[in-house]
Amino acid sequence: MTDLSRRALVAGLALSPVLATILRPLPASAAPGAGPAACALTPGIAEDGSYTDVRLVREDITEGRAGLPLTLLLRLVTPQCLPVSGARVDVWHCDATGAYSGPPAPGGTAGAPTTFLRGTGFTDAQGGVRFRTIYPGWVRGRTPHVHYKVFLGGQPALTSQIFFPDAVNEAVFAGQQPYASRAGTRDTFNTDDRVLARLDTGAMAELEHGAGGITAWLQVGLDAPAAAGPLPSPPPPGRRG
């Protein structure tokens, strides 16, 4: 990705009336990460066991999973607001039903590992990386979120999560398929999610109408040089580490 312009990615979409009202397009002047704390360091958290290093370098991570299209845009910057280029970024999250991909569960039916809604990208000269996915569902004990992990020079530098306003979560789950047909009741919201409480507002994505769905923006502050080193040659698609 070479252009993080909001206007270049905005397009019409068919949303529920409630969701379309909540997600009015933001003014062109409302750049993501604006404000005095725009380049503050992003807090990290421990991995929770859902991470799998699949090393699939790809922008589209959906693998045919049904759900509301979500374009996820991350921009990595230093505390001095300089872009961090050449960084590896892994993302992963659950599908609309709350299921994660990965190795078969211990004691479960044998089968090959799955890789849906997981992928790797590298930041460009502006520190940006983009993924095309679907809006995450919910799992018991957690509010909807997307995981990400940053590597600098091949070494882990940050593990954290991305969250969404609860008004949007509720509108998606009530008015969009396949979320609205899911059995069960969501039990955790932004106000009582234990991880969001630690990460605070810096983990909350900015949302707007996006390319065929929702576009989510998040600026990530790293204690890193402005350039993470030469862009490494990515492994062939589908290669596992």
Average pLDDT estimate for 125-132: 94
* pLDDT above 80 for 1: no
- 103-127 pLDDT per residue, tens: 876 665 667 889 999 999 999 999 9
Extract the tokens encoding 147. Answer: 């995981």
| Pairing, β 128-134 against β 145-152 | unpaired
Phi-psi region of 102 (alpha: psi -120 to 50; beta: other; left: phi over 0): left
- 87-107 pLDDT per residue, tens: 999 999 999 999 999 987 666
**Domains of the chain (ranges, CATH numbers):** 51-96+116-221 (2.60.130.10)
| Pairing, β 118-122 against β 145-152 | unpaired
Which among 124, 120, 89 has a CA at the least distance from the CA of 2? 124
Q: Give 77-106 as a DSSP string.
A: E-TTS-B-BS-EEEEE---TTS---SSPPT
- 43-57 pLDDT per residue, tens: 999 988 899 998 899
d(CA 151, CA 120): 10
Which among 217, 218, 216, 215 has a CA at the least distance from the CA of 12? 215
pLDDT at 12 (0 to 100):
33
Query: How much is the pTM?
Result: 0.82
pLDDT grade, residue 165 (50/70/90)?
very high
- 15-44 pLDDT per residue, tens: 555 555 566 544 343 344 444 456 899 999
